[in-house]
Structure 1
Amino acid sequence: MELDRVDKKLLQLLQLDGTLSLAELAETVNLTTTPCWKRLKRMEENGIISKRVALLDPEKLGLSFTAFVQVKTSDHSHEWYRKFVEIISEYTEVMEFYRMAGEYDYMMKVLVADMKQFDLFYKRLVNSIDGLTNVTSTFAMEPLKYTTALPIS
């Protein structure tokens, strides 16, 4: 799907404030509400807008401990991969999960309250999955940049 200047502007606006009304969006991009709604609907149907959510402040919810967990495995079979993804997907502490190229096979961003909670997560992780050969964790000292807005140009 080709995006024109107006589509891109709508996406930028929604990324900054998902609570903007249809009327506010339409006015900002110089459209009436019906064509604006049709553009948004088309982008939703094409999967460009995948969902609309509220972003929460983890600190205010007592989730101030961020760990990056890197994993190496000795098993690269499809069956092991499928099971690993299924297990990790159930861990609510895992905010992001990637298959990597390079020294480690997988990386996770884990968000918990403190080191004690991370230790519980870590023990659960290493005891629930066979074939892990190395699990290394690093801890964030201070968040310097965080955004959910994609760089649309």
Structure 2
Amino acid sequence: MENLDSTDLQILRHLQEDSDINIKDLASKLFLTATPIYERIKRLEREGYIMKYVALLDKKKMNLGMIVFCNVRLKEHARNVGSNFVRDIVALPEIIESYNIAGDYDFMLKILVKDMESYQDFVMNKLSTIENIGNTQTIFVMGEIKHSTALNF
């Protein structure tokens, strides 16, 4: 962040809230003209501060209203076992986030499915086919209290 000035940071804050904002409107909010704002955004993209632009979809409207966290402990911790596990879970579209964690479990998976029946199908026909899973712990989300994609800086 040492290469960023206050204008860069303001641009990033605005883009986190609305990446679809047009350059002219963003420039107006920052009391600048469009050209320097455009150039700064392109620089932020080139330098990797802005990784990509996405549309955030409504999970419920997409019929994916059930959020499940699944903690996974591997049977063994050989390098190829972990690599194979990561390769296998990355290929499962129901898993929308995955973290390698410390503590009682090795991985935490965030899974989106339609309902309990869909989760059962996912576990029985997909997750259970992955080798070297020792055990799992499932946590069902009853309500989403806070969800943000914006970084606080």
1:31 aligns with 2:32: yes
- Taking structure 1 as the reference length, the TM-score comes to 0.95
What stretches of structure 1 move > 6 A for 4+ residues in a row?
Answer: none
How far did 1:127 drift?
Answer: 3.0
Q: Secondary structure at the match of 2:61?
A: helix
- Matched residue type, 1:25: L
Fraction of identical pairs, as percent: 37
- Taking structure 2 as the reference length, the TM-score comes to 0.95
Aligned residues: 152
Aligned to 1:102: 103
1:140 aligns with 2:141: yes
How far did 1:54 drift?
Answer: 0.5
Equivalent pair of 2:69/2:108 in contact (CA under 8 Å): yes
Equivalent pair of 2:85/2:131 in contact (CA under 8 Å): no
Match runs of 1:42-53 below 5 Å: 42-53=43-54
1:61 aligns with 2:62: yes
- Matched residue type, 2:83: R
CA distance in 2: counterparts of 1:29 and 1:103, whole angstroms: 48
Q: Which runs of 5+ in 1 are unaligned?
A: none
CA distance in 2: counterparts of 1:6 and 1:139, whole angstroms: 41
CA distance in 2: counterparts of 1:124 and 1:16, whole angstroms: 38
1:127 aligns with 2:128: yes
CA distance in 1: counterparts of 2:126 and 2:77, whole angstroms: 18
CA distance in 2: counterparts of 1:126 and 1:14, whole angstroms: 36
**Superposition RMSD on alpha carbons, in Å?**
1.1
* Cα deviation 1:17-46 (Å, max 9, x = unaligned): 111001111111122111111111111111
Q: Which runs of 5+ in 2 are unaligned?
A: none
Aligned to 2:12: 11
